[in-house]
Chain A
Amino acid sequence: MNHSFELPGSYKKWTIGLIVVGLITLLYGFIAYHPFEHAAHGAGANAGTRFWSVLLQNSVFWLLIVNASMFFIGVTTLAMGGWQVALRRVPEAISSVVPVLGIICFLILMTIVWGGHDDVYHWINKDVVAGDKILNGKKGFLNPVFFSVFSAVTIFIWWFLGQKLRSLSLESDKTGPMDYETGKKWINKNILWASLFIVYFGLSVGSTIPWLWLMSVDAHWYSTMFSWYTFASSFVSGMSLIALFIVFLKNQGQLEYVTDEHLHDIGKFMFAFSIFWAYLWFSQYMLIWYANIPEETGYFKIRVQGPYRGIFFLNLVLNFLCPFLILMKKSTKKNYTIITFTAILIIFGHWIDFWQMVMPGTLQGTGELMPFEFGIAALFVGVIMWRVGAFLSSHPLTVKNHPFLKESMIHHT
């Protein structure tokens, strides 16, 4: 099969171009924003706050969406799914970026927490916490040591369990076709590692990690919907990323067993989870709007009635209305151009979503979308393209000995 997939020159050019643009932006940030100067939380005027907020938003967002690929593999493995086998190498390739982005994200988080950037996370300042009843109550959870240890453990486990699942798949290429018994054993091994991954994913992305990394920007505020909301955001963008790479590889003449039917199913995930995201978005908003308790409404006050109003509603249009109306028809889910367009729209929309989770808490009224944000995003996209490209060009693109491959080849919706 495809042992010799060469990345096209334009892909390499784009990768290098995006990374160069990103690095120049980063350099500009270091020079212009003085990121290592100290500023008070919410002072807003300090450019260093913007620098760290943008890095936080981007690193967390891109890390979560590449990790969503491994979640997809885990879930379909546990469900004994067969249809995704023909395209399984694509989410594997995307999830192989987790260690790289994990380290970048961890370094950024550590610099913020230990570098005393209490303009981003105000709970890291001991004096503030001592004089603040709410933060004092959350001290057992929201403190630098717990934050660092838990982040490190989480990123390590994501990498470790993901690596296990990837290597099981890659080993099967070398061992040759499996008979019934070996196939059964191999599937059971996959189920074991996938279930461990899913359990830890639920404990991290499904609950604690968004509390620590994102919700603690507004440390006084809390919402029990927040983690699910973040998960829905990252999963739907993760599926869009998988769709983009499938379309790219199909256009290169690769992935011979992947048909419109598979793309149709990926499109269904994008459609369904856009609705799921909107459901969570609305549930979180309506409960707080209805109860109207000042300590909860503070979060939405600045977003709905303040300077972030446009972004807030743009978010809803990009992430719910557009995918809902565009992907409703069967034919649009099978159309390469429309799927590519919608996938880019969804990823951009959820990037905006993460932006409006972070910025109002750190920059207060002064946040606005500027080229700096896009430049940093280009850096992360470049890194993802670089690592995914490296994986795709060094491994066969079909898991040819997977016991369920036949089921995937004849997949029909």
Chain B
Amino acid sequence: MAGGIKKFVVGCFDDEAVLFPAVKKVRRAGYKIHDVYTPFPVHGLDHAMGLRETSIHTAGFIYGIAGTTTALTTISWIFTKDWPLNIGGKPHFALPAWIPITFELTVLFAAVGMVLTFCYLCQLSPFIKKHHFHLRATDDLFVMAIECTDKTNDAEVQAFLQNAGAKEINVQHAETGWWIGRYDREQKLYRD
């Protein structure tokens, strides 16, 4: 499932306040930011990086509608066609009694569906590995990976990042997609 091996210039920042102007400068200079890895959600960074608005809420709405429909069709089929029961003399088609279950299924479908969609979009799953540009991105460093093309002069990019305030800069060849493996058992990287 490899997305292909590409070359990256990686700059690590230790301050959010330096990262924001750096992102803006890099974008203005025309370099392509592959991604920025941060130890915590940084407010407004998506906007600064020019990422488009997520569509996950639309997906959530569709999952919710699917839950509502599933609940209403199933319950109405069971209680009016398949196995009608007399419960306290209520009509077989007892809509008010079904609303709580319809609500629960709507929420369940929307929530589970959105979590799974989110994991799929972020390529998160058990037994799946992805390349880490810097392990301290999960702790205290803001890591920006700039994708290089054939024409990119990586020395120039490194100097640019240096100017923008990066504390640590290196060049990596890395797999962009995911591959099968486990973080806890295997240390081997895809390109090895």
Contacts and interface: CB of A to CB of B under 8 A. Distances in A.
Interface of A: 282, 285-286, 289-290, 292, 328, 412
A286 B61 contact: no
B88 interface: yes
A286 B97 contact: yes
A120 B88 CA distance: 35
B96 interface: yes
A168 to B, nearest CB: 31
Closest 9 CB pairs of A and B: A286-B96, A289-B96, A282-B99, A412-B44, A285-B96, A290-B97, A286-B99, A412-B43, A328-B61
A342 B150 CA distance: 54
Contacts of A286: 96-97, 99-100
B155 to A, nearest CB: 38
Interface of B: 43-44, 61, 88, 96-97, 99-100
Contact of A290 (B43, B44, B61, B96): B96
Contacts of A282: 96, 99
A328 B110 CA distance: 14
Contacts of B43: 412
Contacts of A328: 61
B88 A292 contact: yes
Contacts of B100: 286
A292 B94 CA distance: 13
A271 to B, nearest CB: 13
Given A282-B96, A286-B99, A292-B88, 12 more contacts: A282-B99, A285-B96, A286-B96, A286-B97, A286-B100, A289-B96, A290-B88, A290-B96, A290-B97, A328-B61, A412-B43, A412-B44
15 contacts: A282-B96, A282-B99, A285-B96, A286-B96, A286-B97, A286-B99, A286-B100, A289-B96, A290-B88, A290-B96, A290-B97, A292-B88, A328-B61, A412-B43, A412-B44
Majority secondary structure, A binding face: helix
A292 to B, nearest CB: 7
Contacts of B96: 282, 285-286, 289-290
A292 B100 CA distance: 18
Nearest to A413: B43
Interface centre among B88, B96, B99 (most CB of A within 10 A): B96
Nearest to B58: A329
A342 to B, nearest CB: 18
Nearest to B89: A292
A381 to B, nearest CB: 35
Contacts of B99: 282, 286
Nearest to A288: B96
A412 B45 CA distance: 12
B72 to A, nearest CB: 15
Contacts of B88: 290, 292
Nearest to A289: B96
Contacts of A292: 88
A203 B181 CA distance: 60
A28 to B, nearest CB: 41
Nearest to B99: A282
B104 to A, nearest CB: 13
A253 to B, nearest CB: 27
A284 to B, nearest CB: 11
Contacts of B97: 286, 290
A292 B43 CA distance: 52
A108 B88 CA distance: 44
A412 B43 CA distance: 9
A301 to B, nearest CB: 15
A287 to B, nearest CB: 10
Contacts of A285: 96
A328 B43 CA distance: 22
Nearest to B88: A292
B19 to A, nearest CB: 17
Nearest to A331: B53
A289 B94 CA distance: 10
A211 B88 CA distance: 31
A285 B61 CA distance: 27
Contacts of B44: 412
Contacts of A289: 96
A292 B96 CA distance: 13
B16 to A, nearest CB: 15
Contacts of B61: 328
A412 B96 CA distance: 40
B171 to A, nearest CB: 35
A268 to B, nearest CB: 13
B42 to A, nearest CB: 12
